[in-house]
Structure 1
Amino acid sequence: MNNKDITKILAILPILFITCVSAQQPIERDGAWDSYPYEKDFEDHKGWPDCAVMEGNSENKKYLPGKDQVLTWTICRSDSPDSDHDGVYDHIDQCPDTPKWMVVDKKGCPLDTDGDGVPDSVDQCPNTPKGAKVNGVGCTVKDSDGDGVPDSADQCPNTPKGVAVDSVGCPLDSDGDGIADYLDQCPNTPAGITVNDQGCSAPAVLKGVHFEFDSAQLTLEAQDILNNVAQSLQSYPELNISVAGHTDSTGPAIYNKQLSQLRAESVMNYLASHGVDKAKMTAMGYGEEHPIASNLTRDGRTQNRRVELQTSN
């Protein structure tokens, strides 16, 4: 080899080195990923992986400066599979079932430029502000009270900020007492118990609970009602229960108070016999001391002859 030949080789070598070393990835040609341009110089072995790093032989090495550097490049098989035809080979495709018409990123997943969870290919509002709630086509959904339920479906449109709501935008009421959880100071009120505006038990008249004449013996109708009450109370064993007996003003006050005490105890004992913890109950007779209607009329006296139930945590 003469000096002229050596000069030519030294002139070509930097170009060859830069081209080969920098070509570490497949290139895109005519919309499809193709192999390294010099792939034709190598046999297409079917046992090779889809892409591999190639190393120059000893003849290449002797032309490299210092003779201790290795010439490498990436070569890819032209038959690498792309099952969903999105332009990304299966071995790097993290979303292998992307529809053919959908624009994807370099990992093969639907492109979502504004990060709203709706792919660009179907996003009708491509510049949605970050964090905004959107519908199925990527457009902002109006939610005036910010409870996560769109105004179009919100049946309680003025819910205070931060209050937990149900699917129709109304505040949760876990115990079903008509008082929203965020206002309910007694959140485990048994079903059917009358409550005040704080969700705590107000004295509830056990309507239909009557006694035999001048007696503490429960009528059959009263027993049926108390069966349901007992079943409800068993679901809330942590509650304390007060049973209060009341009479009208007919007869001596002392006698009325004694009779109301016996009737309150009769109700308490019946509930205890049907599964309610007696240790959680108290009975008190108030006689004619706390009327809720006038004792001057028959209807008023009927209302005053009553048994009330109150619960507390």
Structure 2
Amino acid sequence: MTSPWFESPADAEKQLAAVGYLADTATATTTYLAGALEKPLLVEGPAGVGKTELAKAVARATGAGLVRLQCYEGLDEARALYEWNYKKQLLRIQAAGDQAWDETHDDIFSEEFLLTRPLLTAIRRDEPTVLLVDEVDKTDVEVEGLLLEVLSDFQVTIPELGTVEAVRRPLVVLTSNATRELSEAIKRRCLFLHIDYPDSEREREIVLSQVPEVEERLAGELVEVVARLRGLDLRKSPSIAESVDWARTLVALGTGTLDEDAIAATLGVVLKHHSDHERAVEELRLRTR
């Protein structure tokens, strides 16, 4: 089977690596299959392991456009799909004067007054598109119903305009931090990929690829400390992005070794809660200034 996105899992791994995303075999294979089978990809895992970045990397690697729907509690159809420009419609009604209502109605419910939101935007694009539905677990159950409708047929019915059907199906990536269980209906329609924190060797490779200025030995020391921090009972464990930021910080400071003083002075780069900072200082027996 030939995918319009990647030629094979190996090709997916190679192209993603070329844009700075080091994917393991499972990630590369599932990403390839999402394109080949034209099925949405549900990516689950703790915050900061590269779920969102995977969708961005696919877009960069393939030259596709990226359309992002950031989910949050209270997200509704108008913000996810489309809404009408009511202010502009009102002005047109006022300007219409004595024009018959049927004519005015047909006028104001036209493309000119339609405000497309991410889901409709992705469906209407005829260029290759990656649709990122980010943190889908933060939405209400009603939004899941909307997603089911869109992801089943890749079409949307606008009562005033008719049915809009995708000319070219986007590659859909849904991310979840697993703060709540998603419906089985959503899961059935998706390929599933769980991404966890990488092992030390893979994370060292990621740090070196993103911060080539950092010495390999220092990168190894940094990854070891991050692994120890993730083993603590913290409110928010360090993400991969924060590991990379820490490496950039050490390079900027000209730090050649990650000793206790260096860790204590720069711990705020990777830990963003005071209680986590205190626990790390206690558990790692760091000297504070």
Instruction: Verify same fold: TM over 0.5.
Output: no
- Structure number with higher helix proportion: 2
Structure number with the bigger relative contact order (C-alpha 8 A, sep ≥ 6) is 2
TM-score normalised by structure 1 residue count? 0.23
